[in-house]
Structure 1
Amino acid sequence: MTTTSPTGTAAPLAPATDAHALTGKRRIAFASYVDENYLPGFLVLLRSLALSNPGVCEDFVVLYDDLRPGSIAKIRDLHPRIVLRRVNAEHYDSYKKGDQDNYLVRKAYFILDVFRLREYDTIITLDTDMVVLGDLSELLELREGLAAVSQFFYGQHKLNSGLLVIQREYLSDAFCAKLDATGRSGDYELDKHDQGILNAVLDGDFIRLDARYNFVKRRLSGDLPVPEDTAILHFTGRHKPWQGGEAGYSQAEDRWREFELDDADFHAEYLSKSGGLHHDLLVHFGTPHVKRTGDVEAARKVAAAHISTGDYQDAVDILSGVKIPLDAAWPHEVLGHALMSVSRYDEAKAQLLLATAAPNRAATAYARLAQMAWVHGDNTAALKYATAGLSVDITHRSSRLWAQRASGLPAQEQGAAEEQLAHVAFYMDRQGNAGDKLLPETVRLAFDPDTTSRRWHSVHAHRLFDEAALERVNSRRGLVIGGGGLFIPDTMPNGNSAWQWNVPDELLNRIDVPIAVFAVGFNAFDGQSYRAGRFRESLRLLVEKSSFFGLRNHGSIEKVRAMIPAHLHDRVRFQPCPTTVMRQLVDGWQDPLTRDDTILINAAYDRAGLRFGHDYDYFLAQMAQAVRDLGELAEVKCVAHSLDDEKIAFDLRREHGISMPVIPMYDFDNDEIRELYARTKLVIGMRGHAGMIPFGVGTPIISLISHPKMAYFLRDIERPEWGVSVHDRHLAARLVERAKDLLADHAKTVADVHGRQQELWKVTEANAADLRAILGG
């Protein structure tokens, strides 16, 4: 079977696209040149960076020429994301140089190799005689130009090259050619080496940073204390702290020695930091610390870090390796969470019951017990546990959610089993994500105008698929799996499949009715991955068992094909999300005669670190400007698919004084969702279904891209220009420009949306013919 293109013709898939290229998320790195003489300084630099900025972990590029294996091992011990790059030392032999007896006359130039890196958008270089004392977030947020601190002795025109913040436009062959030409001509201050070349090339054209980001020790002559706001202290000059130092700078050198720690003390100090520890650093330093000490609290922190990135078995392993006291409620609760996430439910229950003994952990533990009971289909026990959680903390949101789920009335089966299709989906709660609420019904519309239980048997993806569920499914005429981005590891984790349907292989293998996987999405974020082989095995079996396997965008097809054997690739086909063809599916659909003079904006905040990286403040400022400018075109409102989506309105008001009406779409029923999106003129959305649903009802869209799936959809409809990355340097201007273009001739834009939709409908109709043959009806 060949993959069908949006035009309905067979077409080969484009090669898989790197996620960051789709989202525009900036790739940031630190970099230093390191040799054996400066290794002691670099090890202190790495420790100081981690302890002063415990929430920061980017790639650290180590440029080197003579490091020994043992030295490299020491470096790797201090940072989990070391990238080694051997410099091209001979390249700099052609440069004209000054004093040939100076140790630095050759090696000082090697840091210029940083400009030959092409993998990053922003690189921050640090000299190895620096120590980091303060917050570097301002440097991480810089997005343009080449930034540095001006030289202490030479005024504002020249930079000190000990710290550089370099943006992509300087990481180019053209800029490297300028450096080479100047170096070979000798037309620079020869005794300043790399710094002399950079100053000659830039001629003062750099962004000036505050001196606290490269505070040279010469400012402290006379043994002055280091100012409190110093972010980076730079031990310029011949005498380095690890070589004995220099008279008159004892207070500065004391600050350097604060970070001259052995591994045990360093790990312990990092783990003692409160809040905001970066996952990679916490795991890298915490794992050997726990192994060495058996520290239960450290094990809890490391396990929680593993859970946050979906590494549930790793969380189980580290907490299972320490002896947890009976009254240590928090570690028991975290271990219970990890165990339930790998479907070791009985062990999880025991751990969570122990955690309920402590008032500060009881509500969370009871909520997890309620969740487990609900997963097993025991609503009575789920309600009991959720109620217990609320009795401890009446405001506990998770306990309230599980109480509502457990007390909901079960659906009444109305049709004959042999006339029904079973339907595995994520059935969203009241006040849940509006897009997920609409999806199951829309999937059903693609098969049958009757979406009720007369024709459908609901199977909640998150409930354990057991023998009774298998019997019910096998009594139906077929099984449809569809309703969202089910291929994601962490919304409701389980160890049976490692994706959202909690189905063991043995039971999946015993389904004997036709299976149709319909418009499922691969929903991993940029920076998120499936690390377990369990998912691959479950996925392979599902593809083998399915009579129809349709994914909702070609990006998902690429990702899934990369995870299954080649002989199964042709089974995977394109089936657009049915929300994108809503006008074709809803019986009696009428396009609106008039539209409200509104522009609706949606922003998403789940997994905010993966969406925004270091750029949230920038994004918010750009959106503030965009809302002001868009307000001249139409009334701008916030449309919240979930409660958390209201954050953009709160943040814009608090940080920028902008008020925006909020529409609580999470409270809407499906007809209200469709009607609102059909009536507006334009939707600017960050959630996948804040683009696909309005598109499906014929409304123009602009996608705020923070997830690859947004770009996948726009690529499929051949309108990539309808998307703007949340990291775009000119986000506000681009949003407003594109909004003006789409609104200038609104009727023409709507007609274009209809035309794009028609191509997706052709694919859906072609697939429907195959599905009728497979499922009947």
Structure 2
Amino acid sequence: MSRTTASAAPPAVHTPAAPVREAAADDVRDLTGKRRVAFASFVDENYLPGFLALLRSLALSNPEVCEDFLVLHDGLRPASLARIRALHPRIRPRRVDAARYDAYAKGDQNNYLVRKAYFLLDVFRVRDYDTIITLDTDMVVLGDLSELLRLREGLAAVPQFFYGTHKLNSGLLVIQREFLSDAFCERIDETGLAGAYELDKHDQGILNAVLDGDFVRLPARYNFVKRRLSGDKPVPEDTAVLHFTGRHKPWQGGENGYAEAEARWRDFHLTEREFQDAYLALPGAKHPDLLVHLGTPYVHRTGEVEAARRIATAHIGAGHFEEAVEILRAVRVPVHDAWPHEVLGHALLSVSRYAEATSHLLLAATSPHRAPTAYSRLAQIAWIHHRDEEAHAYAGKGLSVDPTHRAARIWHQRTRHAAPGASLPQQPEGPAHEQLAHVAFYMEGQGNAGDKVLPESVRLALDADPSARRWHSLHARRLFDRAALAEVNRRRGLVIGGGGLFIPDTAPNGNSGWQWNVPPEHLRAIDVPVIVHAVGFNAFDGQSYRHRRFHESLRLLAEQSSFFGLRNHGSVEKVRALLPPHLRERVRWQPCPTTVTRHLVPGWTDPVAREDTILLNAAYDRAGLRFGHDYPYFLDQMARAVRGLGALAQVKIAAHALDDERLAHDLRRTHGISLPVLPMYDWDNDEIRAAYAKTRLVIGMRGHAGMIPFGCGTPILSLVSHPKMAYFLADIDRPEWGISVHDRHLADHLTEAARTLLADHAASVADVHERQRALWEVTRANGADIRAVLA
């Protein structure tokens, strides 16, 4: 069937939810279903000048785009590859199998250009990507390519009129995974070897013969051929990709009658320095990888402070804090230039160089524009060092400049007990020798609902009394100093648990490299049993631990621990892989205690009746890592899904954090759909659990928007945008309850899966209880081992 437009909706399907694919431990994208997108070109030495111009044009016309770029070649020189790599941070060279194409029937076997015209077909043998966009090396990109990046169906190209019929022009192709297959390659080979195609059209002839018109039609602006501009016509304003077809190429002297077109090509015929200057001078947002790649040599060459600040900010966003410090240390920042001082202070804070960070943040605070953020970070440093009165004062200064500043308000609230005259009630602690010390992330105020429930759940898994009588609280993000060490060593033991504490960019510090801010010398000095309980390895797809500090800290923690339990087998495998062989078997599975809530909460009773509701949660932290290019698609699919789900029950938004309300706002703004919002970030633990226990189904994107309702006995579906969701579903042997946010037919799969679970709700609840029973047995057995250690 011939597709007619790039924006045609996918056909309706009514099949069971597509399960999250099981994958190798080192490829979490196979768990999240995140689309892997790449560009590709065939490049040889003769066409290298054209390709370099193409790379520059792509960056300058689409500064926020930075995908892998496959460089297919049959023997580029090392110096040529070096020139290519200088322009793009994600070059992936791939040598073609030239002999395969030499066997094809051709119109002219002796013309080297004809021979190499077939080599681009090697892209169909790539298996590492879901979408590949091919570009001929005699093209330049002049406009936005985001529409191509969002395509998800078929093989797309611009049609051209040949001999009375429209056929694709292979200069630009958008190829989806179903065509990146052995079966499609067999059809290409069969056609090429038999010569059953228009021989003078080379690779394009083969594709047209194989597809026989069955391709997605793209607008002409995505492959606007030079021939349409004969007579020095100007390039149309909406041209996205200009293609210099024909024998005469711009880098070879060009051709008469195409002055306007060739002037556009020369815009991208730049030296390396000119290209860096042009990219850095572009207004608006830039992809952090491109900014770092092109901006770092620019800063070392020019010493420009503003560029260094932007690059440092990109490093911080990627969790590369040492690199952020280095780039700003490479320039001379004037005393009065507040913004770079603020960014440098942030980077230094993130690597625990607190005294230096304080100096730079105080300089930043002299500017009214930067003062609220600078004061909030100064409050954070003081709070980390247990100086709450100082932290409260700093936060107050930030609010005096900007009363709406969120971070300053959070620190002001968190330290309100230290305000002059404050007398907040304190829960009395029991005798130290009867207590366990507990390191966790303690969420207060309008914080993530899952992070509120977690610490209490960890305590209930080990003691029926979660109160201060039995537990001494230590916030993971505060410095574990000598005083904290002394308090721990007075207790029966130390429990570490209550969050995905292994994550590189949340509460970064230079002491451990993960969320617990513990210097190694203090970790070594703990002389009571150390229990790591249901901690998660929470790195997103695209994140990694780059620095040695985390690996050293992790190894030391494993050595010191009497029990080392991680909340899913995926985390177990990830952490074991980072440890030396003799420590790997110490790491064991301890399910998150929120998943067995019914067995932990004293006096728990299952609901006699449930509300006829479906609770829906979406997460927006690190949206780029969650959605990639697919957020508009996700939103459209959720609109369709909500309409379908609304026929099954009333749909409400369960907002674990303030940012989670964005789904409600975006659905109303773009689709006219209004949904009630449950502000769980404002609720206490009992309210959160009660809401999840009495609904019929929960569809969640956050980890604990799945695990908490599951623990309350409620059927769940997971919108998978993070590997931890797939890890949990694999542990309970229900991968079909997970649907990737990138799923091609997300709305249909989600609605059908919900319909299936709700059709026999009692059976679905019984299945949850059965899955939960296995987790409870593991938790009970581990609890017995832990109590033996503590005894």
- What's 1:317 paired with? 326
Indicate conservation of the 8 Å contact 2:439/2:495, yes or no: yes
1:293 to 302, 315, 325: 302
Seen in structure 2, the aligned counterparts of structure 1 residues 180 and 467 have a Cα distance that, compared at 3 Å, is: same
Are the structure 2 counterparts of residues 722 and 39 from structure 1 closer, same or farther at C-alpha, using a change threshold of 3 Å? same
Instruction: Report 1:452-491 matches (<5 A).
Output: 452-491=467-506
CA contact (8 A) 1:488 1:522 kept: yes
In the other structure, the counterpart of 1:93 is: 102
- Name 1:4's counterpart in structure 2: none
Q: Hey, what does 1:774 align to over in structure 2? A: 789
Tell me the residue number matched to 2:557: 542
Q: Given that residues 32 and 125 in structure 1 are in contact (C-alpha distance below 8 angstroms), is that contact kept between their aligned partners in structure 2?
A: yes
Partner Cα distance (2:371, 2:161) in 1: 57
Amino acid at match of 2:551: R
Percent identity for Structure 1 against Structure 2? 73
1:346 aligns to 2:361 (yes or no): no
* 1:530 equivalenced with 2:545 (yes/no): yes
Partner of 2:616: 601
Task: Kindly indicate whether residue 755 of structure 2 is the aligned counterpart of residue 736 of structure 1.
Answer: no
SS in 1 for 2:578: coil
Per the alignment, residue 357 of structure 1 pairs with 366
Amino acid at match of 2:362: L
Q: Which residue among 276, 281, 292 is the counterpart of 2:290?
A: 281
| Equivalent residues of 1:476, 1:513 under 8 A apart | yes
Match of 2:522 in 1: 507
Alignment correspondent of 2:411: 402
User: What's the CA shift for 1:155?
Assistant: 6.4
Aligned pairs (5 A) from 1:571-610: 571-610=586-625
Displacement of 1:15 after TM fit? 5.9
User: For 2:344, which of 326, 330, 335 is the aligned residue?
Assistant: 335
What residue in structure 2 maps to residue 247 of structure 1?
A: 256
Say how many residue pairs are matched.
Answer: 764
CA offsets 1:248-307 (integer angstroms, 9 cap, x no match): 111111111111111111111111223321111011101111111111111111111110
- What whole-Å deviation, never above 9, does each CA across 1:1-51 have from its counterpart, x for those lacking one? xxxxxxxxxxxx996252011000010000000001100000000000001
**Partner deviation per Cα, 1:591-633 (whole Å, 9 max, x = no partner):** 0000000000000000000000000000000000000000000
How far did 1:88 drift? Answer: 0.7
In the alignment, which of 191, 207, 210 is matched to residue 219 of structure 2? 210
Letter in 2 for 1:238: R
Whole-Å Cα distance in 1 between the matches of residues 188 and 767 of structure 2? 49
Q: How does 1:28-47 map to 2 (within 5 A)?
A: 28-47=37-56
Once residues 279 and 518 of structure 2 are traced to their aligned partners in structure 1, the CA distance between those partners, rounded to angstroms, is: 40
Q: Which runs of 4+ in 1 moved over 6 A?
A: none
Contact 2:161 2:167 in 1 (8 A): no
User: Counterpart of 1:112?
Assistant: 121
Contact 2:23 2:30 in 1 (8 A): no
Please name the residue that 1:10 is paired with. Answer: none
3-state SS in 2 of match to 1:547: strand
Shift of 1:358: 1.3
Partner Cα separation in structure 1 for residue 411 and residue 62 of structure 2:
38
3-state SS in 1 of match to 2:602 = coil
Supply the AA of the counterpart residue of 1:676: A
SS at match of 2:462: coil
Q: Which amino acid aligns with 1:275?
A: G
Counterpart in the other structure of 1:235: 244
Aligned to 1:439: 454
1:157/1:203 contact within 8 Å kept: no
| Correspondence for 1:56 among 59, 65, 74 | 65
Q: Distance in 1 between matches of 2:711 and 2:269?
A: 60
Q: Does 1:612 align with 2:627?
A: yes
Aligned partner of 2:13 in structure 1 is none
Letter in 2 for 1:294: G
The farther-off stretch of 163-172 and 95-104 is 95-104
Deviation at 1:749, TM superposition (A): 0.6
Q: Are residues 1:632 and 2:647 paired?
A: yes
Name the amino acid aligned to 2:559: E
Partner of residue 657, structure 1 = 672
Q: CA deviation at 1:567?
A: 0.6
Asked if the contact 2:429–2:472 (Cα under 8 Å) also holds between the matched residues in 1, the reply is no
Separation in structure 2 between the aligned mates of residue 410 and residue 119 of structure 1, nearest angstrom? 58
Task: Map 1:621-700 to 2 at 5 A.
Answer: 621-700=636-715
**Among residues 573, 591, 595, which one is paired with 1:558 in the alignment?**
573
- Identify which of 189, 200, 212 aligns with 2:198: 189
> Structure 2: which amino acid aligns with 1:454?
R
Q: Tell me if structure 2 keeps the 8 A contact 1:15–1:558.
A: no
Match for residue 335 of structure 2 among 326, 336, 345: 326
Match for residue 79 of structure 1? 88
Any gaps of 5 or more consecutive residues in structure 2? 1-21, 418-423
Secondary structure in 1 matching 2:565: strand
Q: Judging changes above 3 Å, is the alpha-carbon distance between structure 1 residues 570 and 190 closer, same or farther for their aligned structure 2 residues?
A: same
Q: How large is the Cα RMSD of the aligned pairs?
A: 1.2
**CA contact 1:150–1:156 (8 Å) conserved in 2:** no
- Are the aligned partners of 1:602 and 1:645 in contact in 2 as well (CA < 8 Å)? yes
TM-score of the superposition, structure 2-length normalised? 0.96
2:761 equivalent to 1:746: yes
Aligned to 1:176: 185
Structure 1 unaligned regions, length at least 5: 1-12
Equivalent-residue separation in structure 1 for 2:783 and 2:109 (angstroms): 77
| Native 8 Å contact 1:152 1:216 kept in 2 | no
| TM norm structure 1 | 0.97
Q: Give the superposition deviation at 1:100.
A: 3.8
1:124 aligns with 2:139: no
Specify the alignment match of 2:19 in structure 1.
Answer: none
Take 1:474 and 1:108, find their aligned partners in 2: how far apart are those partners?
72
Tell me how far apart the structure 1 counterparts of residues 63 and 348 of structure 2 sit (CA, whole Å): 28
Alpha-carbon separation, structure 1, partners of 2:92 and 2:696 = 48
Residues 501 and 538, structure 2, Cα contact 8 Å, conserved in 1 = yes
**1:684 offset after TM fit, Å?**
0.2
- Shift in Å, 1:154: 5.3
The aligned counterpart of 1:720 is 735
Q: Distance in 1 between matches of 2:25 and 2:202?
A: 43
Cα displacement (A) at 1:152: 5.1
